[in-house]
A and B are shown apart, each in its own frame.
Chain A
Amino acid sequence: MIRSDTIVASATAPGRGAISIIRISGPQSVKIAQTLSGKTLKPRIATLGSIISGSEIIDTGIWIYFVGPHSFTGEDTIEFQGHGGPVVIQTILCLMTRHGARLAEPGEFSQRAFLNGKIDLTQAEAISDLINASSVSAVKAANNSLQGHFADQINSIISNLIALRTQIEAHIDFPDEDINPQTINTFSLTITNIKTHIGKLIQSAKEGAKLNRSAEIVLIGEPNAGKSSLLNSLAQAPLAIVTDIPGTTRDLIRHDLLIDGLEVRITDTAGIRSTTDIIENEGINRAIAALQGVDLVLCLFDDRHQQISEDSVQHLIGIPSNIPVGLLSTKIDIHRKPVDNQTRYPLLEVSAKTGEGLDEFRNWLLEQLDLTTHAETPFLARQRHLEHLKNANLHMDAAGRHHLTIETIDLVAEDLRLAQNALSEITGRFTSDDLLTSIFSTFCIGK
């Protein structure tokens, strides 16, 4: 979209490095920076200053003001170089959104730079790729935020709101039908209920979102392929029972590791194989479920596989998907012949037992998981969701408090439409035709 609003985001990779940079771009950026720092910022001059909220100093760092069009995005841009740490960064981002900035969409800084002619044609493809890659990560993060209780609550709020709008819009568009719609009192009650519901959800949603985004890896392979051994040597502590009998790992075993400062969650799955063992079958089902929304799937093959084909990979992952896949031959200490890789996936060879190849593997892993600036954290995703919830609440408020009479039902309907638009930002578009469909399936219309 072409927008003239002000956007903010962390410009450095999450969870790494001692310094973090937060970037604000757009017409309001200078105003926001000066409000938060209490300093007058001069173009191109680094200014030492703190970020103050109330009487509390959140962080102290360097402010730099780039005047448009001589900035990365071509707009007025502010950079704050602070001390990092996920909690501090997120507090700062929250403060800035409260002062009128909007959390940037993935890739939006680069997009603005390109649209403002700051990046030349040769990089156009790269921008497209960036937007694409970022959106994948954002979708993933949003999905992570939209899980469990939070998602259930939002869906319930939305379905209540749709039911209410169906009643009110039917009231408006079909006055001659004997549809016997609810009374204004019922509307009022429903509005209050939805409002309370949203309020509670905002409260509870502030907690609960994981602050940092860790990379998620799933180990998957035939029984006894050495998944547990690999996990143990990466974690350097025995985590799962390791034996030679296939089918030992019956449950999902998760472990959070810190590899070179990067938080990695590895899920060890039961190998996929047909079995009559009920418990193990359950484990296999969980393995399949664990594949949803991960960053990397590692398919493990042991010494029995001298040749790896697309088929054998498909056999392990099941449905084809766009998750990056890596192949790992785990027992080079036993068979020393190079494995014949007939797939399009990269292959690495290690020995979990002797540690051979593990360093290369670690480096390769970090490269794969590089959470660059465009990676979106579940916290940010949740933050976006909260903004939309608050917006929806404002409109619900207006609907309930100011205008709830039959004479101004058109205004109530407008407030509810705006509330729905805000919620749609979380769960997807709800069109006027969807609304009509709801009306026609609820009421018998047909004068």
Chain B
Amino acid sequence: MDYTRLFDVIVVGGGHAGTEAAHAAARMGCDTLLVTHSIETLGQMSCNPAIGGIGKSHLVREIDACDGLMAKVADQAGIQFRVLNQRKGPAVRATRAQADRILYRQHMRYALENTSNLTIFQQSVSDLLIDNDKVTGVVLGMGLKLQSKTVVITAGTFLAGQIHIGMNQQPGGRAGDPASNELANSLRDRPFRIARLKTGTPPRIDSRSVNYRNLQEQPGDTPTPYLSMMSTGDEHPRQISCYLSRTTEKTRDIIVKNLHLSPMYSGVIGGVGPRYCPSIEDKIVRFADKPTHQVFLEPEGLTSHELYPNGVSTSLPYEVQLDIVRSMEGCSDAIITRPGYAIEYDFFDPRDLNSTLESKLVANLYFAGQINGTTGYEEAGAQGLLAGANAALRAQDRESWTVGRDEGYLGVMVDDLITLGTQEPYRMFTSRAEYRLTLREDNADTRLTEKGRMLGLVGEELWQKFQARQEQIHNELNRLKSIWVRPSDRCTNNLNRVLTAPLSKESTAHDLLKRPEIHYQDLVELADIACHSDPSISSQVEILVKYSGYIDRQTDEIKKLKKNEQVRLPIDIDYSKIVGLSNEVKQKLLDHRPQTIAQASRISGVTPVAISLLLVHLKKLELTHLAS
């Protein structure tokens, strides 16, 4: 690494946010430096070795639509793939991959090391160089100063991390890795709003010590699904199964008896944990009448014997953890290879960020990942992409990039974070997206690839593939519109058996497909319509036709909202001067500092009347400005 040169982008951290951020900036042609405390742990999956799942796979596909890494690497490292909600409608379908932890790390490192414009350097970062509220570089642990146009911080749980096992605590960023206390301390000296969160992880088990005989097997789907548009399925390693175990009455007794040893329940941990990923002690206390809880035994990899028992995250002392694990079905002789723990860490109030993930307080400084109060690799990776791309745009003096709530789960997440902040580690759910029917896993490319190409994120190969696919969808839609089925046709008798109301007038295949009871497959089988050779195209066309009514309505809703998204609130607006706003609303606007009228309207407690008053005030400012 040449320490004398001026980098375009320096990314601090090599986790899921850092790797995507660095890769994105480098793809866009920026001279990028990734600084990590350990090259060995680039792309480390510190918790559950899985990528995707409900809401999360949408983010993975969005990263992929911009030619990012996560989906491709997951396809190369995935050892069990399933499509969740397969039967529940395309908008909520989600692909999930169990990943081999070692393979994932290897492929991620390989991809990064073979990216042009990207330099990787192993060192801790102890401080930022800030000049006049503008970041100008970083200070390395060894004291060296590096200059850069922009900096992306992706410090994850490492900032002032504190690990709890029982009543025992020690500083740490992740089991086995140090916390970044120097950086945490120097950031605390700046005017950022910082709070604590906590999360936890279960103990790991030696697979050879588990008796699988009575456990339910969970094989992956066949044919094996994949996540990346660039994949074919051939990149998958050998596929293996997960198993389902359960806690028992005995588990409950053990936990109830030892609750006072839990740092959560004895008040040692002050940070807030996630409601959707509670520790096993939480589950037992909150749902006391539930006799058993399921535990997914997920293999950590093809070359490892370790299992990740998904569902028994705990911070109880090791002795109790062992008792808990051994009380689970099939685990009476289980051997724990690593203890579970809870970790508390600093996070930065995301309301201090713009929708580009740039800090409102320090220019050219971007935050991505768990540091913003989120949890999950996918959430981190998607933010990394956005922050990395925006850092690159800034370094290149180009206009910034934001993703709307109607364009992607990435947009929903960032908007939620920066307008509402978060009280618990923020995880993506499909119910957070009001335009869920439009934001599907299957159309991430339609939503984002063109934009990604304009930004310089999308390479030639993906671009060609994308264009070909769009053309095929377009052609197939037109083909269905041009095929006519008449009541007198021979095939109509077959069709009428499926139709709720028999065909009474000449219709196109496109119109028939709009009927809820008709599927694409019915057209092929009953109406003798030739099937498209690519099932992903025919299914895309079927979704587009069937959802068109709903999608049109959402498009209308989006259009209306767009107007308010475009009305910007000046950064120096003095809310205390606005006539008629209640003190409560003033305080909320001051805390959240919304960037647009639409954001302001999403803050709870900001009433439509308050929005009217804001609009009047803006107009007044405009008129005053014109007058002077």
Interfacial residues, chain A to chain B (CB-CB below 8 A): 1-3, 105-108, 111, 114-115, 120-121, 124-125, 127-129, 131-132, 135, 169, 171-178, 402-403, 406-411, 413-414, 417, 429, 431-433, 435-437, 439-440, 444-447
Contact = CB atoms under 8 A, between A and B. Distances in A.
Interface string B80-117: 00001101111110000000000000000000000000
Interface in B54-92: 54-55, 84-85, 87-92
Interface residue tally of chain B, by bracket? 35 or more
Nearest to B294: A178
A107 B88 contact: no
Most buried by B among A129, A171, A407: A407
A172 B616 contact: no
9 contacts: A114-B619, A131-B609, A135-B607, A135-B609, A172-B85, A175-B88, A410-B88, A446-B278, A446-B283
Chain A's interface: helix, strand, loop or mixed, by majority?
Answer: helix
Contact of B620 (A124, A131, A176, A445): A124
B604 A2 contact: no
A225 to B, nearest CB: 34
A171 B516 CA distance: 22
Interface in B18-69: 54-55
B274 to A, nearest CB: 9
A132 B179 CA distance: 52
B144 interface: no
A429 B597 CA distance: 17
Interface stretch (B429-437, B459-467, B485-493, B530-538): B429-437
B429 A408 contact: no
Given A124-B620, A175-B85, A429-B604, A444 B283 contact: yes
Given A128-B579, A411-B437, A417-B434, A173 B616 contact: no
B616 A124 contact: yes
A402 B609 contact: no
Contacts of B376: none
Contact of A128 (B54, B431, B613, B623): B613
A447 B616 CA distance: 49
B275 interface: yes
B276 A169 contact: no
Nearest to A434: B604
Interface string B150-176: 000000000000000000000000000
A128 B580 contact: yes
B89 A173 contact: no
A111 B618 CA distance: 12
Contacts of A174: 54
Given A132-B613, A173-B55, A440 B623 contact: no
A440 B427 CA distance: 13
B437 A410 contact: yes
Contacts of B430: 172-173
Given A171-B88, A446-B278, A447-B294, A132 B550 contact: no
Interface string B578-618: 11100000000000000001000100100111011101110
A414 B436 contact: yes
Contacts of B608: 1, 105
Nearest to B286: A444
A408 B615 contact: no
A175 B429 CA distance: 12
A172 B92 contact: yes
Contacts of B420: 433
Residue among B277, B296, B313, B615 having the largest count of chain A Cβ atoms under 10 Å: B615
Contacts of A406: 87-88
B283 A131 contact: no
A121 B627 CA distance: 9
Contact of A107 (B282, B612, B620): B612
A129 B55 contact: no
A124 B87 contact: no
A106 B607 CA distance: 13
B563 interface: yes
Contact of B437 (A1, A115, A414): A414
Contacts of A445: 275-276, 278
Given A128-B579, A409-B88, 19 more contacts: A105-B612, A115-B616, A121-B623, A121-B627, A124-B623, A128-B578, A129-B579, A131-B580, A132-B579, A132-B613, A135-B609, A173-B54, A175-B84, A408-B89, A411-B550, A413-B436, A431-B604, A440-B276, A446-B313
B299 interface: no
B92 A409 contact: yes
